[in-house]
């Protein structure tokens, strides 16, 4: 059931922007009818994740230092899809850039909002199958490590809290559900 938006926007001020995000502060009337403010981070790209899976049940993870967290993070290959590029094109590009892999088959397995209380960031996750290894070509901002692990080990990394990236967790949990339901086997 679709509900009516209870928020009223009185004004919007752009307070910051760069090539990737914009921060707007909205003067609002909240659902209780009171004046308030609401800050929203708007993303200029769509988030894209790719879960590469081999026929024998191995997946590829990429590790990199995440500046915003001040932590090293193991994740599925991910990136941004700018306007003018489809999410599938971006998924193919990110997989090749970060791992050197090319896939014969891509399947959209999840659509998601990544932090919907403060941002409009939207993402899509693809399963990549029929993999061929080529040469990785990471961007200048990426210092990436790559590891190929059995799916069960990657899933255990989620359970142990060693993978904390939301797109990666969702992708790995979705693959587990697909395996349990018999939608995929290796």
**How far is CA 48 from each of CA 60, 65, 142, rounded to the nearest angstrom?**
16, 18, 16
Q: Is 142 a catalytic residue?
A: yes
Here the tokens at position 85 are 């590029």
b or e along 172-183 (b: 16 or more beta carbons within 10 Å of the residue's beta carbon)?
A: bebbeebbeeee
String of DSSP letters for 79-120: EEE-TTS-HHHHHHHHHHHHH-EEEEEEEEEEEEES-TTTB-
Q: Which of 85, 129, 142, 176 is catalytic?
A: 142
Q: What residues act catalytically?
A: 142
């Amino acid at each position: 059931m679709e509900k009516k938006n209870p928020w009223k926007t009185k004004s919007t001020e752009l307070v910051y922007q760069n090539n990737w995000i914009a921060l707007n502060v909205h003067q609002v009337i909240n659902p209780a009818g009171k004046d308030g403010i609401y800050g929203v981070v708007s993303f200029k790209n769509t988030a894209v994740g790719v879960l590469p899976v081999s026929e024998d049940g191995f997946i590829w993870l990429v590790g990199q230092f995440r500046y915003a967290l001040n932590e090293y993070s193991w994740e599925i290959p991910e990136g941004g899809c700018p306007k003018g590029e489809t999410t599938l094109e971006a998924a193919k590009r990110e997989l090749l850039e970060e791992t050197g892999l090319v896939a014969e088959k891509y399947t959209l397995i999840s659509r998601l909002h990544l932090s919907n209380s403060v941002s409009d960031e939207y993402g899509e996750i693809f399963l990549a199958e029929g993999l061929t290894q080529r040469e990785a070509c990471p961007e200048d901002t990426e210092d990436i490590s790559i590891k190929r692990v059995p799916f069960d080990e990657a899933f255990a990394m989620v359970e142990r809290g060693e993978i904390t990236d939301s797109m990666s967790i969702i992708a790995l949990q979705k693959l587990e559900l697909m395996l349990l339901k018999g939608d995929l086997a290796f």
